[in-house]
Amino acid sequence: MAVIPRSAATRNPSVLSARHYASTHAHPRVSRGNCVFGGCLMRRRCSWGFFLLMLLTGAVATVAQKKPPTKPIDINTASIEQLQQLPGIGPVMAKSIFDFRKKSGPFHRPEDLLSIRGISENRYKAIAPYVVVSPPKVAVPAKVASAPPKPAAAAPKPPAPPSTAAPKPATTPKPAAPPR
């Protein structure tokens, strides 16, 4: 078993006082004058924390200043970039709205946005004035490709009305005369 040597201060307390020992033998990261920025570790950490706090506050302030669209956005035809103009809608939520519309079909009313995960009633109330829903387009059946339509002049004439005169009797051929 190895014996750990003791310092002079602990062997003979009269040699060095405890205050002197603490000021000369303290941890190098905590001692005065060893910090790069001229302060203790705690002061450095606090200054970095303050810097990060100010940075995040500025980022939140720029998000809060997003201007709403000047005219309502049709959520059935809007792109992801257009959906991001809505207050409280970022890129992830805009993609969720776009994917929901692609999967489930067009929205029938603005309240259908509440069925998307992440849109609460409060968020819906914030975006409701800026959202409209166009009626869904009805699919028109495709026409069968055939001959081009006939011009109106070539249309068949209607049959003539029956005459009111009595029909002529059918004539029968006369038999030939016998030879003489």
The pLDDT tens digits for 128-167 are 999 999 876 666 566 655 666 665 565 567 676 666 666 6
CA distance linking residue 136 with residue 105, whole number of Å: 9
pLDDT interval class at 44 (50, 70, 90)? low
Instruction: Report the percent of the chain where pLDDT is more than 90.
Output: 34
Contacts of 58 (CB under 8 A, 6+ apart): none
Q: Are 106 and 136 in contact (CB under 8 A)?
A: yes
CA distance linking residue 72 with residue 132, whole number of Å: 6
Q: Return the pLDDT at 47.
A: 73
Q: Return the pLDDT at 91.
A: 95
Q: Return the pLDDT at 116.
A: 94
Q: What is the pTM of this model?
A: 0.43
pLDDT at 21 > cutoff 60: no
Q: What is the pLDDT of residues 80-109, one digit of tens each?
A: 999 999 999 999 999 999 999 999 999 999
| Amino acid in position 1 | M
More confident residue, 48 or 12: 48
